[in-house]
Structure 1
Amino acid sequence: MKRLLLVFGLLTVLTAFIPKKELKWEAIGDSITYSNSHPEASQHRISVGYMDDVAKAIPYVQYNNHGYPGWTAKAMAENIEKIGIEKADVYSIFLGTNDWWVGLPIGTMTDYENATGNETVYGAYRTIINKIRSLNPDAKIILMTPLQRTEYVDLNNPKVYIQGQFKPKDGVYLSQYADATKAIAKAEHFELADLYYKSGINLKNAVHFRRLRDPKTGEYKDYKYPEYIGIPYNPETDVYPYPVEAMDMTYDGLHPSDKGHAVIAKMLVKIMKKF
């Protein structure tokens, strides 16, 4: 018995030193995905992205970045044959926030089931997933819900402003896009990184404050959420409302800071370690 235990223990130790087989990962997404390895896009307010964080935690993961700023599920579906998606072990799809802002119709699960085309979120996801399955029918697929977001002002072009999720866009809430992503993941038994509901990134910690002029005095004041809702911002005359010290989970109200990317990566690492 002692000899058997010794042999078993030796095998366990030796197995621990066998290198893991490389796990190839194709990351599909929008500007949040793109920002990985592109710190210049944030004027170097970030230094890493969620893919770098995952690869650091799981060294045998090798990724390709297929992030495109401003892209919706429809744009991704329409271009999925052109962007060089390769055969891989794992695919992640991280979209939704642009879909909400441009008003891409969500559609229904029927659009997904019947592959009705790219004019709805459900239909576009079917196109993307069909492409993935054509490359590797056995691949693991991770769907990622959009992050919660507050008022966004583009760091590189402050004239670009987008309202926060605290009110609907064209009568639709960002959460409804997250719910559609969850529904597809459930129906297909895909892995889900539920960033919207479970990451802990929310309106309160997206930024520490917005620096805006007090409407009464004209003097700048740092307003926390929800105090800043409704206070006007004029990009022609006002300073950028998110100085470096305002950064928390995001650096501009939408795009994750290093801290935010680390949260995303932690959720993905938990999933990928099962593969």
Structure 2
Amino acid sequence: MPWLHKQPDLKNNPLYLEPRVTGVESSLEKVAVYIMPPPNSDKVVNTTNFNNLSALALTSNLPIEIRFQSGTYNIQTLFVFNNTKVKLQTNTTLNFTAGTFYNPETGGNSTVSSVFMNARPYNSDDSNITGYNGHSNITIEGGTVYGGCFMTMMHGNNITVRNVKIMDATADHSFQVNSSRNVLIEGCEFYGVPVQDVSRNYVECIQIDWCTSGGAPGWVSTAPIYDHTTNDGVIIRNCTFGKSLNPTKLQTIYTAIGSHSTDGGRKNKNILIEGCKFADSTYANITAREMENVTIRNNSFSSTDINGNLLHIDGTNNINVYGNTFKDGRRAIYANATVGLHVYNNDIYGGWSYQIFTTEGCENISIVSNSFRDFTFGSTSANAIIALRSAKRFFVENNMAYNVSLSPLNSTGAAQDTMFVFIYATTGDTSKDGFIGRNMVDDYMKIKLDSKVTYSSSVNVYTASQNAGLSWCSIGDSITNGGNSDGTSTQGYYQEYALPLIHNVKTHYKRGYSGYSATKYTNGATGGSVQDKTAEIETADIYTIFLGTNDFSRNAPIGSTADAIGKLDSFWGGLKQIYVDLTNKNMNATIIMITPMKRTVVSGGSTIHWNTSNTAGFKLVDYVNAIKEFASQYGLPVIDLFSISGVSDQTASTLLYDGLHPRVVGNARIGKLIGRQMNSLV
């Protein structure tokens, strides 16, 4: 399939468009600075003081900055205009009470529940604002705000809100982004929105929406301000969302970020949400509805209370979801009617629904290099990690699924399938043109297709047995064999620390032989050579060769690159023979060389120091260099433990129990090093 066979190239592939957000915060040079009077107990006085200062931006030729002093200000709605920066001190608090404005459409007063606004309700000038021509170049920083909706923004351009703690909102939303461009919300904390009726259990803390009379009341319904301009360029970065910090309040978060609206096919575009932490949502962490060109990356999704989906996607085109963690919740990801859904390099765990990742009616789907783990299925209907319903052009490869419970018995007491991928379709539709590549999943998990699935001639579908992951055979001496003991406890072996880090490896064969080497000795030294064991070494996709320390201690001649295959009495000849034996088993295998670690002298243990010459005239580093040169000649990767293991004269007593063999902490250290490097190679 031409659309995806590898991890997306975000820079060069037009299918993967990152949000285009530029000029988020204008540089306000030659700023006129105004200091707010100290807090007054009268909210009207405080509000009037601010709005009088803010109005200077309408008459001044210079940008202005309004600085709040420390303390608590009781306020009503504050208006910010072009080229204005508002700075709250860290210990500045704003306590909001809703105000009223005369509504000519009703002939009475209407309530306005926003703390900050960049447009004045029922003002004739502001009612005619359209496009991105509203009051712009606005920055608000710092402080704590209680009550109301922190900001209602309409038709703005270059709006920045940074490092504000927004507590216990009393309006439906904590922040409304309406019909604006180049918006940055960064480093803010949002705790609690009002308890909603069950029919509105989806309302957003930050709402990204069009400027409509229903969504942003404040002007007559026919006012030009309600022109339905889409948002273009919104960044929400490093923000935190959760329930109220006041234990006496019931305020929670329903949806942290997003929209529940549609607007005639219009889509808000170029949205970036990154580095945020979500908790306590009861509907969704993010609802990406009617958007395009969206990136959601490096966030922490979580909620033990959620009854919906951690990430809910609906009617969105070209969305990239990567580098996130998804923890708990009913379902991690749900996507509907989305074209261009690309989900990769996420860690998804702890869910409890009957499906963990569900798509319905989506096209151009890639699900690549994710881990799905630690799920407990509880449904008596079909349980699946990934469910693709009426999917068109989908690609699933290089994912992991492990520590997943078996599906419970169905309602009649019969066993039912536990599926890694379930591909099905609604009546009258099909799922088609898909590729299920190589994924590492537990043996009992299946790929299941229903009768409404068709495939083009270019499509391959792998069965579960073909989906079992790569095999690794670790070859070496007693360090590879592991399980050594210092008389009190086992020291384990490095492979147990490496395996969890190698995403593509499922099967491991341990072939470590105590005292063995690459060289077949003719100099009177005792100990076997690995060539004697090649018949029992399994055929595998990956081989690691971790030898050399016994060759050093037993004075093996190194030889040279000219040594022939079969010249087993030299280190070079022995390495060549092992290579030939392994490629005869699997000519397509990946062979990785591992250099020996440094070693010291310990009574009753190692008898030769790494920096001492043996009787053949070689130091350990000479064998290390021979391994590197051999690998270079044969085009093999090297994991250089001699240089990076952390074992030295200063650390040997901590990492090695006898100057040579690793303790538990040593095995953990080198195993993780090996695992991380192998994962990047295979």
Q: Counterpart of 1:88?
A: 540
Q: Counterpart of 2:510?
A: 65
Amino acid at match of 1:31: S
Shift of 1:116: 4.5
Q: Counterpart of 1:120?
A: 570
Shift of 1:44: 4.7
Q: Counterpart of 1:29?
A: 476
> Does the CA contact (< 8 Å) of 2:606 and 2:658 recur in 1?
no
Amino acid at match of 1:272: M
Give the SS at the match of 1:143.
Answer: strand
| Counterparts in 2 of 1:263 and 1:11: CA distance versus 1, 3 Å | closer
- Of 608, 612, 619, the residue aligned with 1:167 is 612
Shift of 1:94: 0.7
- Of 497, 504, 526, the residue aligned with 1:53 is 497
Structure with the higher fraction of residues in helix conformation = 1
- Of 241, 256, 260, the residue aligned with 2:662 is 256
Structure with the higher fraction of residues in strand conformation = 2
> Does the CA contact (< 8 Å) of 1:77 and 1:118 recur in 2?
no
Instruction: Compute the RMSD of aligned alpha carbons.
Output: 2.2
After the TM superposition, which of the residue ranges 54-63 and 117-126 deviates more from structure 2? 54-63
Give the SS at the match of 2:529.
Answer: helix
Q: In the alignment, is residue 269 of structure 1 matched against residue 670 of structure 2?
A: no
Q: Counterpart of 2:641?
A: 195
- Of 323, 335, 339, the residue aligned with 1:7 is 339
Shift of 1:268: 1.6
Shift of 1:191: 1.4
1:169-221 deviation digits (Å, cap 9, x = unpaired): 112111101111111111122111101122221122101xxxxxxxxxxxxxx
Amino acid at match of 2:481: Y
> Does the CA contact (< 8 Å) of 1:100 and 1:177 recur in 2?
yes
> Does the CA contact (< 8 Å) of 1:151 and 1:161 recur in 2?
yes
Q: In the alignment, is residue 110 of structure 1 matched against residue 562 of structure 2?
A: yes
Of all paired residues, the percent bearing the same amino acid is 29
> Does the CA contact (< 8 Å) of 1:77 and 1:125 recur in 2?
no
With normalisation by structure 2, the TM-score equals 0.31
Amino acid at match of 1:58: I
Q: In structure 2, what is the Cα distance between the partners aligned to 1:72 and 1:267?
A: 23
The one of the two structures with greater contact order (alpha-carbon pairs below 8 A, sep at least 6) is 1
After the TM superposition, which of the residue ranges 62-71 and 18-27 deviates more from structure 2? 18-27
Larger radius of gyration: 2
Q: Which runs of 5+ in 2 are unaligned?
A: 1-290, 293-315, 319-337, 347-356, 358-366, 373-398, 401-438, 441-468, 520-527
> Does the CA contact (< 8 Å) of 2:600 and 2:652 recur in 1?
yes
Q: In structure 1, what is the Cα distance between the partners aligned to 2:585 and 2:548?
A: 23
Shift of 1:45: 4.1
1:115-140 deviation digits (Å, cap 9, x = unpaired): 14201011001111111101111111
Shift of 1:89: 0.9
> Does the CA contact (< 8 Å) of 1:33 and 1:67 recur in 2?
yes
Q: In structure 2, what is the Cα distance between the partners aligned to 1:272 and 1:179?
A: 20
> Does the CA contact (< 8 Å) of 1:76 and 1:128 recur in 2?
no
Q: In structure 2, what is the Cα distance between the partners aligned to 1:138 and 1:78?
A: 20
Give the SS at the match of 1:69.
Answer: coil
Give the SS at the match of 2:340.
Answer: helix
| Counterparts in 2 of 1:47 and 1:97: CA distance versus 1, 3 Å | closer
Amino acid at match of 2:340: F
Shift of 1:56: 2.9
1:220-267 deviation digits (Å, cap 9, x = unpaired): xxxxxxxxxxxxxxxxxxxxxxxxxxxx01111111112211222222
Q: In structure 1, what is the Cα distance between the partners aligned to 2:636 and 2:472?
A: 15
1:17-42 deviation digits (Å, cap 9, x = unpaired): 5433322111110110111xx24x44
> Does the CA contact (< 8 Å) of 1:152 and 1:164 recur in 2?
no
What is the total number of aligned residue pairs between the two structures? Answer: 224
With normalisation by structure 1, the TM-score equals 0.74
Q: In structure 1, what is the Cα distance between the partners aligned to 2:673 and 2:590?
A: 15
- Of 92, 100, 105, the residue aligned with 2:552 is 100
> Does the CA contact (< 8 Å) of 1:77 and 1:127 recur in 2?
no
